[in-house]
């Protein structure tokens, strides 16, 4: 489910849905990620692309029952796989 009122751009990839937030300045990437988690409680996982490591995001993800894993990325980006804990 794409919500055009939230920051970021959705796209479908071979690995599944991906949210691109690379061009945004803080706190917009966190707003986009958390907003989508809350807007679609049935989404089990998605990948995010960011321009920097979202260190303030991790505590918020844990509170909401989500886990993350770093994925291989280009030198100028951070890629994370976000998954709802079961």
How does pLDDT run across 61-78, given as a tens digit for each residue? Answer: 999 999 999 999 999 999
Q: What CATH number is given for 9-84 in this structure?
A: 3.30.110.40
- Which pLDDT belongs to residue 3? 61
Q: Where are the alpha helices (DSSP H) in 8-51?
A: 28-39
Query: What is the model's pTM?
Result: 0.90
CA distance 54 to 61: 11
Quick check: 6 pLDDT over 70?
yes
- Which pLDDT belongs to residue 57? 96
29 C-beta neighbours (distance < 10 Å), count: 26
Q: DSSP 3-state assignment of 80?
A: strand
Quick check: 19 pLDDT over 80?
yes
- Which pLDDT belongs to residue 15? 87
**How confident is the model over 43-57, as a mean pLDDT?**
95
CA distance 45 to 61: 12
Phi, psi of 25 (to 5 degrees): -95, 150
């Amino acid at each position: 489910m794409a919500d055009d009122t939230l920051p970021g751009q959705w796209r479908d990839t071979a690995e599944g849905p991906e949210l691109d937030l690379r061009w945004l300045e803080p706190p917009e990437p966190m707003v986009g990620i958390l907003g989508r988690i809350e807007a679609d409680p049935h989404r089990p996982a998605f990948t995010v692309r960011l321009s920097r490591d979202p260190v303030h995001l991790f505590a918020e993800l844990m509170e909401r029952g989500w886990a993350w894993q770093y994925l291989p990325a280009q030198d100028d980006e951070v890629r994370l796989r976000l998954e709802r804990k079961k």
